Amino acid sequence: MTSPDFIALSQTSIQSAISPEVAIKLNEILLHDSVASTNDELWQRLSHGKSTPAACLSETQTAGRGRRGDLWHSPSAGNLYLSLFWPFPAETNTNGLSIAIGISLINALKSRGINNLQLKWPNDILYKRQKIAGILVESRYGKQLNTVIGIGLNFKLPTTTQNKIQQATTSLQHLCTDVPCRNKLAGKIIQTMIETLEQFQINGLHNFIPQWSDYDALADQAITLINGDEHFDAIARGINKQGELRYQHDGEIHTLSNSHVSIRFAS
């Protein structure tokens, strides 16, 4: 059950917010009250032989996950748990896809009057270093490159949930005097994701690189990189054309492509 503060997910309302030119590219929109994970629902759909573009949304997730397999807390408080399945040609290089999706998500939220958001490499949307959304990209190879992109966006976070999350978080309820309609925003995000995936399939990150500096939460910041028991301090220096993080350590510039490494603000 969704929170009484929010209208339940509605296929009709979501579809009405997607332009006909984009909606025709989407085979179906799946809505659920509760699933283990919206990403997993789309992988299960693929296992049943359905490999066409599709979206999946749920009021809550019992086993939502983020990057590195971390638990994504998914209370039934009217948040947005949304995944999109997209089949790329087998030869597609998806390096940096989470960055393209992140930039497009920020732009979609800006169009609804939600400003001052930043992207923390490679997949967290922040407001003043507080996480409001996360992105999870998963790919599996076959005759085509099957990709699922999951987005979790906080509309409202109960205090009990915030206390379980080991980082600063926020929600649209705290940022907006007039919280956007969840169904219409979901439709807008689905449309933006499809448009982004089509651009990315043709030009990779090329169209998104110029926007990175506007949204880079780590720009020239002191950071700590953590990989298991190993950790060291560095200075973030943007990204390269492949979407890898550039960082300065011991006077030299290095790059990081492994999103399994955890990054924290050092100060």
Count how many residues are written for the chain: 267
Look at residue 72 and tell me whether its pLDDT is greater than 60: no
Q: How confident is the model at residue 259 (pLDDT cuts 50, 70, 90)?
A: low
Domains and CATH numbers, the chain: 11-212 (3.30.930.10), 218-265 (2.30.30.100)
Distance, in Å, from the CA atom of 94 to the CA atom of 69, rounded to the nearest integer, reads: 19
* Number of Cβ atoms within 10 Å of the Cβ of 62: 10
Q: Is the bond preceding residue 158 a cis peptide, omega within 30 degrees?
A: no
Told to judge if 246 belongs to the known catalytic residues of this protein, a careful annotator would answer no
Look at residue 161 and tell me whether its pLDDT is greater than 70: no
Question: Biggest alpha carbon distance in the chain?
Answer: 55
Among 50, 110, 164, 264, which one carries the catalytic annotation?
Answer: 264
Among 120, 131, 182, 237, which one carries the catalytic annotation?
Answer: 131
Told to judge if 264 belongs to the known catalytic residues of this protein, a careful annotator would answer yes
**Average pLDDT, stretch 99-103?**
97
Among 67, 112, 129, 246, which one carries the catalytic annotation?
Answer: 67
176-193 pLDDT, tens digit per residue, is 888 899 999 999 999 999
User: Can you give the pTM of this predicted structure?
Assistant: 0.91
> pLDDT value at position 66?
54
Q: How confident is the model at residue 3 (pLDDT cuts 50, 70, 90)?
A: very low
40-66 pLDDT, tens digit per residue, is 999 999 999 999 999 999 999 887 655
> pLDDT value at position 4?
45
